[in-house]
A = this chain, B = another copy of it.
Amino acid sequence: MAAANVRDVAALAGVSVGTVSNVLNQSKPVAPETAKRVHEAIDKLGFVRNDAARQLRVGQSRTVGIMVLDVSNPFFTDIARSVEDTLTQFNRSLILGNSGDLASRELAYLDLFEEQRVSGLLITPVGNVLSRLERLRDRGSPVVLVDRHDNARSFSSVSVDDQRGGYLAAAHLADTGRTNIAFVGGTSQLQQVAQRSGGAQDALRERGVAPLRVLELDSMRAEAGRIGAEQLLALPASSRPDAVFAANDLIALGVLRALTHAGVRVPDDIAIIGYDDIYFAANAAIPISSIRQPAWEMGRTATELLMAEIEAPGRGEYQHVVFQPELIVRDSTVRSAD
């Protein structure tokens, strides 16, 4: 009844446990005839390797951890799928953690990853966890930051130039005649948010347009967009903005829904531009202009950087790949001549 172990397999195949291990891991040559007997024994007993024992001996697991800000945001699931795809080429598997923007959850997952001795970690950090990540790295689990540039330069990172992305968004709004622009986003604690609004401010300053009115909310989900939109609608008509730059597309969708629900015409009364260029924003009630980020390439590149560190550890040389964002114009900012 108890699950078979290597000893049982060895006994049935008439070899030693060491030989079974060699067959399993191809670590040393085994005569074809012997290997065949071992495989037959494995099949007969339904043997499945106990990964805990293996890990204990080897000191490291074969899984990589990834921690994302929000699994319900398609941008992050795209990254995760890309990572998963790339990892299968390296014959490793992925365990996904969802911090949901919460520092407490992030810490709980870091504990888990550390206890599991993951072979590496991809993370978009929320809280102040750099020292935790350094410990992880020093103990043999390399870390690569995703969608976040490492200023301290003690980790490799893959990011998008968020400053530039913010600049592109605001420049587009200003250049199409908008003069009173609101930024609706999550907390500026998030580097991405701070940089996007910062880049936008730059664009407006250059153009002599009034600075952004910044609405900070406590989440990056559609619901936050609804709340933000309602705050804007509560303003006196005279100071109501004529454009909204949302920190991501989910927020943009929430804003769009709340505004149209209140009878505001988009883009005529208020233009909306989002960030991430997710499929659903492109297919929203009014297709939303957005700043595209190359999720697929980011996932692949991050995984490759991580695997390089895993396979050749202790180099202490960290790479920083920065992708360029791209402005995608749709109906939500410009009356279409379509």
Interface residues of A (CB under 8 A from B): 3, 46, 48-53, 55-56, 61, 63, 71-72, 74, 77-78, 80-81, 84, 88, 93, 95-96, 98, 100, 108-109, 111-112, 114-117, 135, 139, 222, 253, 256-257, 279-280, 283-287
Contact = CB atoms under 8 A, between A and B. Distances in A.
Contacts of A253: 279-280, 283
A49 B285 contact: no
A15 to B, nearest CB: 22
A261 to B, nearest CB: 10
A51 B113 CA distance: 10
Contact of A80 (B3, B56, B71): B71
A78 B116 CA distance: 26
Contact of A50 (B46, B109, B117, B284): B117
Nearest to A93: B112
B115 A222 contact: no
Q: Which 9 A-B pairs have the closest CB atoms?
A: A52-B55, A280-B280, A51-B115, A52-B56, A96-B96, A95-B95, A52-B52, A48-B114, A71-B77
Contact of A115 (B48, B114, B117): B48
A119 to B, nearest CB: 12
A50 B115 contact: yes
Given A53-B56, A72-B81, A222-B279, 11 more contacts: A46-B135, A48-B114, A48-B115, A52-B61, A52-B116, A71-B80, A93-B109, A96-B96, A280-B284, A284-B284, A285-B286
